[in-house]
């Protein structure tokens, strides 16, 4: 249930970021809010699954006898970067011209900045929410 809540929260944040960037930034095109929401959901699911998979492979790599840290860094990088490329590919294939990322490197820069914005906002909101839960209620 926790994973579903995280994906839902990330999807809402992603939708706001995608639609906002679509309005304010010519490197991101989002035809409508629905397309932004579906794209954000795809990104959220792929990001959450890749982070979970990265944790599993990280544990496995660190148990290796030779070059454990190097293997961990490489596999973590490959999984996390590769998952973003997979998400972008899925969005481009599914939505074509309805959702586009353009600009440098065929839109990769805009896509990564969008993903990073979503993750940073999600992290900041998570910290704020956890601080609010820790504070005692006073009258």
Structural domain count of the chain = 1
Q: Which residues contact 107 (CB under 8 A, 6 or more apart)?
A: 27, 88, 100, 101
Tens digits of residue pLDDT in 70-95: 888 899 888 888 888 888 888 888 88
What range does the domain containing 43 cover?
2-117
Q: What is the pLDDT of residue 24?
A: 92
| pTM score, whole prediction | 0.73
- Asked whether residue 81 is assigned to any structural domain, the reply reads yes
Q: What is the pLDDT of residue 104?
A: 92
Q: What is the pLDDT of residue 27?
A: 92
Over residues 118-136, the mean pLDDT reads 77
The angle at the Cα of 118, spanning 73 to 7, to the nearest 5 degrees, equals 85
- Asked whether residue 131 is assigned to any structural domain, the reply reads no
Q: What is the pLDDT of residue 107?
A: 87
- Asked whether residue 126 is assigned to any structural domain, the reply reads no
The more confidently predicted of residues 115 and 3 is 115
- Asked whether residue 111 is assigned to any structural domain, the reply reads yes
- Asked whether residue 62 is assigned to any structural domain, the reply reads yes
């Amino acid at each position: 249930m926790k994973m579903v809540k995280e994906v839902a929260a990330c999807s809402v944040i992603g939708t706001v970021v995608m639609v906002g960037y679509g309005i304010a930034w010519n490197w991101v095109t989002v035809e409508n809010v629905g397309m932004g929401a579906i794209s954000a959901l795809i990104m959220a699911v792929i990001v959450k699954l890749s982070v979970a998979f990265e944790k599993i492979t990280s544990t496995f790599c660190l148990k290796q006898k030779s070059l454990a840290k190097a293997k961990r860094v490489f596999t973590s990088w490959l999984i996390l970067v590769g998952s973003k490329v997979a998400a972008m590919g899925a969005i481009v294939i599914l939505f074509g011209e309805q959702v586009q990322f353009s600009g440098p490197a065929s839109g990769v820069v805009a896509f990564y900045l969008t993903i990073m914005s979503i993750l940073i906002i999600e992290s900041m909101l998570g910290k704020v929410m956890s601080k609010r839960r820790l504070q005692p209620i006073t009258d």
